[in-house]
Amino acid sequence: MTSKAQQLSEKLDQILGSQLQSNTVAYGEVTIEVAPEYLHEVCLVLRDDKSLAFEQLIDLCGVDYSAYGETEWVTEEATSSGYSRGVEEVNSGRLRFGDEEVAKNTDRPRFASVIHLLSVSQNVRLRVRCFATDENMPMVPSVLDIWTVADWFEREAFDLYGIHFEGHPDLRRILTDYGFVGHPFRKDFPLVGNVEMRYDPELQRVIYQPVTIEPRVLVPRVIRGDNRYFESETSDEGAN
């Protein structure tokens, strides 16, 4: 028996055809990929075609694929559920501002806008992914004129990832502070940030200063049986 997700996938192929870069079904969910030049046109069809009727946009977010599939917690000697994890950094999570960046995954475009749609009348959901072609100035079309709820979602993706939504009438930051530098959800942005705030009693106002806490991965870490530590301990004993 054909699943509802598979039926939706086949219907999308029939209606949208060559406008889709990919159309996959995984874990009972349908994901389509659309090039930026077709995104607006495709989204109009998804909303207005009565056999699809995706009248609700329930989420829109940005994604940075630069370190896709990588994790701090796997080394050559251990699995992600074992010991000796996180000894050496494999992504930018522990870097400070100005440190040399970890090499990025270049197998696919770096930034994408991901839209989640709901059809109440058809009782189906759909994920629409659109990759920005330019990493230095990531840009995809706005869908604000199709689903007005996209307004703040697109501003959030712009703020956190630096993705520009062409056609958005008021694209500005929505979560970070005035004058904030950088985009905090990008993989090369330090987890501890670049600056911190404190109250200065002499100036009698809140000021910014370089962050003072050490970069760290925000997960409990257990390190056992790692010969890099044993080697340093042995050399210390020999020196005594």
Which fold, 4-239? Beta Polymerase; domain 2 (3.30.460)
For residue 190, the model assigns a pLDDT of 81
In angstroms, the CA 5 to CA 10 distance is: 9
- CB count within 10 Å of CB 22 equals 9
pTM for this entry: 0.77
> Which regions of the chain are under pLDDT 50?
79, 82-84, 220, 233
- Would you list the domain boundaries of the chain? 4-239
Nearest to 181 by CA among 193, 191, 163: 193
pLDDT tens per residue, range 24-34:
999 999 999 99
For residue 227, the model assigns a pLDDT of 58
For residue 82, the model assigns a pLDDT of 46
- By CB atoms closer than 10 A (0-12, 13-18, 19+), residue 36 is middle
- Three-state SS for the chain is CCCHHHHHHHHHHHHHHHHCCEEEEECCEEEEECCHHHHHHHHHHHHHCCCCCCCEEEEEEEEECCCCCCCCCCECCECCCCCCCCCCCCCHHHCCCCCCCCCCCCCCCCEEEEEEEEECCCCEEEEEEEECCCCCCCEEECCCCCCCCHHHHHHHHHHHHCCEEECCCCCCCCCCCCCCCCCCCCCCCCCCCCEEEEEECCCCEEEEEECCCCCCCCCCCCCCCCHHHHHHHHHHHHHC
In angstroms, the CA 64 to CA 175 distance is: 18
For residue 125, the model assigns a pLDDT of 97
Q: Which two tokens stand for residue 183?
A: 């985009």
